[in-house]
Structure 1
Amino acid sequence: MSLVAILILAFAMSTDAFAVAIAMGARRHHVRFKDALKVGLLFGVIEGVTPLVGWALGSIAASYVESWDHWVAFVLLCGLGVRMIHEGLSPPEDAEDSNRPLWLLALTGFATSIDAMVVGVSLAFTATHIVWPALAIGLATLTMVTLGMLVGRRIGALAGKRAEIFGGLVLIAVGCVTLWEHMQ
């Protein structure tokens, strides 16, 4: 996987957490950098670990589906992309406030990282090394959540929904490229 592909994937994986962070920031009158960074760090760690878990699970199953693994990756990525687009087109939900208990913020972070776990599974099926994508996803999420909370009050939930739609389109494109590369 090229550096550009890893960066695009990392950005796509951080868009749902970015949307949540914008909504959290929009619900507060003032967001301190320190608080935004704490939430960003929590979400980034969770989002960076889940592809590792997905990759480990996918690696176990990969030997059983080796002849059609690219189709599995294609279906998972495209399905996830369609889900993200659907959520981006749906009315916004109430966001969790960053003043919530740590366990509730962690649960929110995990909920936004399920897609990264699925990506980890699909990367295992394509025999991609997971360390750099996982680190990139974690760092992108840390950055995007921190920024999302800081600018959330100004740009509101609309930009968050658009970011989620864009992330879904990117995942579909990555799935199509994966299938194309393996069909040649």
Structure 2
Amino acid sequence: MPELILATTRLHTAFLDCRDEWGPGLHEDGFGLDADDDVDSPEGFAAWVHQRTRLAHAAGQPCPDEPHGSLRWLVEEGRVLGGFALRHQFDDLRGSIGYGVRPSARRRGLATWALGEMLGEARDVLGVDRVLMICAVDNVASARTIERNGGVLEGLRDTELGPQRRYWITLDR
């Protein structure tokens, strides 16, 4: 049974396996991984995890003061399948939630389920009534995931990150 959890040093090897499946130097938006982050060494990874989770409440609830937002890993049986990041500050270029599911775990409905969970967190924790979702124009799978969660296409936009589809999702109370 998959679950969304806070990042943990306990899953260092599983995280690296997930990251490496995308290829060296690549990352998905849901991990909040920057190019200069050291996640390969145990010490660097521990510091990175601590930075990403330091303000999270003990019960695993996000803290709105966290600069990176609420970060969750999609995990199943000790295997990191992807990452989801709810941004606490509006980001017109990257949207409200970034996510990625490793290639070998795709086509199982996991992204649709996990995005739905993160939408609930946006509503319940941040108190927002709608979120902006963005994906690359050619990312049909992501577009379908967003649409399955109620995404309504606003339009297409050329940006410094490339051509994007822009969706709004209204969050019911």
User: Does the pair score TM above 0.5?
Assistant: no
Whose helix proportion is higher, 1 or 2? 1
Whose strand proportion is higher, 1 or 2? 2
Question: Computing the radius of gyration over CA atoms, which structure comes out larger, 1 or 2?
Answer: 1
- Considering Cα pairs closer than 8 Å and 6+ residues apart, tell me whether 1 or 2 has the greater RCO: 1
TM-score (norm 2): 0.26
TM-score (norm 1): 0.24
